[in-house]
Amino acid sequence: MMTAAVFLCLAALPCVLHARLVQEAEDGFAECNDFFYQGSPPQGFSDPSHAKICQRHQGGARFATLYSTEHKIPVYSAFTYREGAASEEGDWLLEPQLDDSTSSLEEGTKGSDVSEQIESLGTNQALEEDYASSDYQPGLLFHRAPAALTNAVPLTQSFKEKWATDVDNVIEKLVPHCGNGDSLHLIAGAVPSGDKIKDKVAVPEYVWFAACCNVPDAWSLGVIKRTADVDGLEQVTVEELESRLSGGVKLFSNQCGGGASPPELGTVSESSTQTEDEPPVKTPGAFSRFFQFLFCITYEIVKSVLCLVWFLVKQICNLIFGRLYWVWTAVTTYIFALSKVLLNIPCDVVCVFANILCGFVGVVDNVCSVVCLILRLPTRFLCDMASFPYYTICAIPNVGIDILGGLWGIFGLGFQALFSAFGGSFSMASFAGSSVFQRFVGQSESYEN
């Protein structure tokens, strides 16, 4: 039972793994090496900021990605053609181990699910919020792959749709020349420009696409599309594509059959522009070709002479008008500077006189201040001396009046005391006489009764 349980757990494990970071000790892209021609990844993309990712989805490996943690976009992604494969709608997936090498999440995960677990999320990879409030959207290098931000680059909406259509058209023409398409190996990449979104995610200068097939015959093809040219699409050989990618890049092992082009692909593309009812074009004879040759030579000679004459005329005109412009600039500059100096002379004279007047007024003010300071002490002293008799002599009557008032008060108090003593003695004598009289009168009446 225990063995069966372990077996079921191991069988279910690939169903939850969506992506994992390939370690340096592993060979190539580990289990994702099958997406490369003869199991050999491209050579020449050596950079410390590149990380190898084996992208898995729904229980199986889907594609391999070499990701630039410096530019936050994929360097390239490798696929094998599958009929009916398409990108699934849903949230964009991230690679947690890019920002946290110790993370146990060996799967592509939604950013909202790992934002709390990984504090440094977004340090080495692009996030959905990095594209917010910009003119760019995350666009897949190969739109038939699962929606992972590690396989997306900043593209405008129009370029994103046009790139998906161009890739589909090229693959539709390549599949008939590669058996059933099962042996068709595809590599899509991007070359960063100097522009960045929020100074973080690099906007590609151009995206590229390379195809290789070895059934029944080995051949390869390259495609380049510049982001500045939405409608343009350049078809090149893989060797030419490798030369444009710096660092001695080799996309396919053994040049995928020596770098041969797909058989009859050019003929098919050319013949599609002609109708079946169009009559064949007659080949011109030798006499006609001779006149055509003379006409071409004459045309080129006349064209070259006219171009030379036009060049000389343009150079002479540039010389003449350049000198005239230089003279005109020098004269106008001199006149402007001279006028500025002449206009400033009256202002400077007025400023000088104003400064002189202000200085004179300041001197007078200082002299007056000194004089006032010198005269202030004697003046106050003389005023005090002059006012001394007034405050002394004039005060004598008031003092005399106050003295007389005091004497009068003392006299009044003595008189009042004497009068009071006399009145009291009289009152006591009256009281005593009345008492004696009453007793005498009262005693006589009692004797008679």
pLDDT digits (tens, 9 = 90+) for 25-47: 788 898 899 999 989 999 999 88
Q: Return mean pLDDT, the chain.
A: 81
Joined together, the tokens standing for residue 366 give 């200082």
Q: How confident is the model over 273-301, as a mean pLDDT?
A: 63
pLDDT tens digit sequence for 55-71: 877 777 889 999 999 99
Q: What is the pLDDT of residue 277?
A: 42
What is the total count of domains within the chain?
A: 3
Distance between CA atoms of 182 and 416, rounded to whole angstroms? Answer: 151
Residues 56 and 14 sit within 8 Å (Cβ to Cβ): yes
Q: Both 211 and 84 in a single domain?
A: yes
Q: Both 160 and 259 in a single domain?
A: yes
Q: How confident is the model over 185-195, as a mean pLDDT?
A: 95
Indicate the helix (H) or strand (E) that contains 195. strand 185-197
Joined together, the tokens standing for residue 398 give 């008031």
The percent of residues in the chain predicted with pLDDT above 90, rounded, is 36
Handedness of CA 305, 310, 313, 318 (dihedral sign): negative
Q: Both 162 and 101 in a single domain?
A: yes
Of 19-23, 91-95, 276-280, 410-414, the least confident: 276-280
Q: Is the pLDDT of residue 4 over 60?
A: no
Q: What is the pLDDT of residue 444?
A: 52
Q: Both 260 and 339 in a single domain?
A: no
Joined together, the tokens standing for residue 311 give 């060049």
Q: Choose the final residue of a domain: 219, 234, 269.
A: 269
Of 62-76, 266-280, 288-302, 348-362, the least confident: 266-280
Residue 219 lies in a domain: yes
Q: What is the pLDDT of residue 275?
A: 35
Q: Could you list the residue range(s) of the whole structural domain that residue 437 is in?
A: 403-441
Q: Collect contacts of 260-267 with beta carbons under 8 A, ≥24 apart.
A: 260/217, 260/218, 260/219, 260/220, 261/219, 261/220, 261/221, 261/237, 262/173, 262/174, 262/177, 262/213, 262/219, 262/221, 263/177, 263/217, 263/219, 264/177, 265/173, 265/174, 265/177, 265/221
Residue 388 lies in a domain: yes
Residues 147 and 87 sit within 8 Å (Cβ to Cβ): yes
Higher pLDDT, 241 or 322: 241
pLDDT tens digit sequence for 115-136: 777 888 889 999 999 999 899 9
